[in-house]
Amino acid sequence: MTADLHDILRATDLLSSVPAADLEAIAAGSRVRTFRRGQILFTAGDSGDTVIVVISGRVKVVVRSADGGELTLAVIGPGGVFGELGVADGGPRSADAETLEECRLLFVPREIIQDICGRELTAQHALLRSIAANLRRLTEAASDLVFLDLPRRVAKVLLSQPRGEDGLIWLPVSQEELAHQVGGSRPSVNATLRGFERRGWIQMRGRAVTVTQEEALSRFAGPKLS
């Protein structure tokens, strides 16, 4: 198991450059847990005492309003890392995290990451890059919510999805989850997707959405912020 964790940690952007001895120390001091779909990992205000590596499955990071509204800030898949902000400032969680499907997660104590970042400049730089990338993404998302209409926000999320082996883009979340990502309702997102389908930009088959005309959808979505 330790050897497997070593490879998992090495594959992350945050820890890819740290010495093997440090990876072994992280693996020895961390714990792997399995979660069912829909389980809450933490909520806003909880202690940010761990950095979490996704071994398998997907996790969404969300903010929720008092009346039950939800906005998805990020969806993290295998090899992804979240919870880094607590390493930098020692503060509490700023959002909730919930599993989208069955997940295996590695919980790394914050103190271990802090120690490595204090000794290894490359790890420190990787942490700063990760936090900066999250800030850029959230800034763009906030801008989109203010300045773009719902159809263009949906188009941008579709275009941000990874490509399949056939070169097409496939949306791995339900329309309800997509609505949470773009700050809309499920009916309005469904209407938007149906409009894209009528234009021939996408194909919908059950819960699967495939982008078939990326260039047309990109023109509609507009330029991406640098």
14's tokens: 């945050």
* Burial group, residue 72, by CB count within 10 angstroms (0-12, 13-18, 19+): buried
Q: What is the largest CA-CA distance in the chain?
A: 56
**CA of 84: how far to CAs of 54, 91, 194, in Å?**
13, 11, 38
Question: What do you get for the CA distance between the two ends of the chain, in Å?
Answer: 41
Query: Mean pLDDT across the chain, nearest whole number?
Result: 89
Mean pLDDT along residues 187-211: 90
Residue 225 has what pLDDT? 46
Amino acid at 69: G
Confidence of residue 2 (pLDDT cuts 50, 70, 90): low
Please give the domain boundaries of the chain with CATH numbers for all domains: 2-145 (2.60.120.10), 148-221 (1.10.10.10)
Lookup: tokens for 57: 């499955």
Reply yes or no on whether the pLDDT at 173 is more than 80.
no
pTM of the full structure: 0.83
- Cross-strand bridge partners of residue 31: 107
Query: pLDDT at position 201, please?
Result: 93
Q: What is the mean pLDDT of residues 42-71?
A: 92
Sole residue written with tokens 């996790």: 59
* pLDDT computed for residue 218 by the predictor: 93
Please say whether the dihedral angle defined by the alpha carbons of residues 138, 95, 125 and 108, taken in this order, is positive or negative. negative
17 pLDDT tier (thresholds 50, 70, 90): confident
Q: Does the pLDDT value for residue 67 go beyond 90? A: no
* pLDDT digits 0-9 by tens, 82-123: 999 888 888 899 999 999 999 999 999 999 999 998 888 888
> In sequence order, what are the beta bridge partners of 35?
103
| pLDDT classification of 226: cutoffs 50, 70, 90 | very low
Element (H or E) spanning 151, and its range?
helix 150-159
The helix or strand, by DSSP H or E, that contains position 96, with its residue range, turns out to be: strand 96-99
Contact (CB, 8 A) for 14 and 52: no
Q: Which residue has the tokens 């330790």?
A: 2
pLDDT for res 194: 94
In tens, the pLDDT along 121-171 reads: 888 899 999 999 989 988 988 899 999 999 999 999 999 887 776 767 777
- Evaluate if residue 5 carries a pLDDT over 90: no
CB 175 within 8 A of CB 189: yes
C-alpha dist (Å) from residue 3 to 20, 27, 34: 11, 8, 19
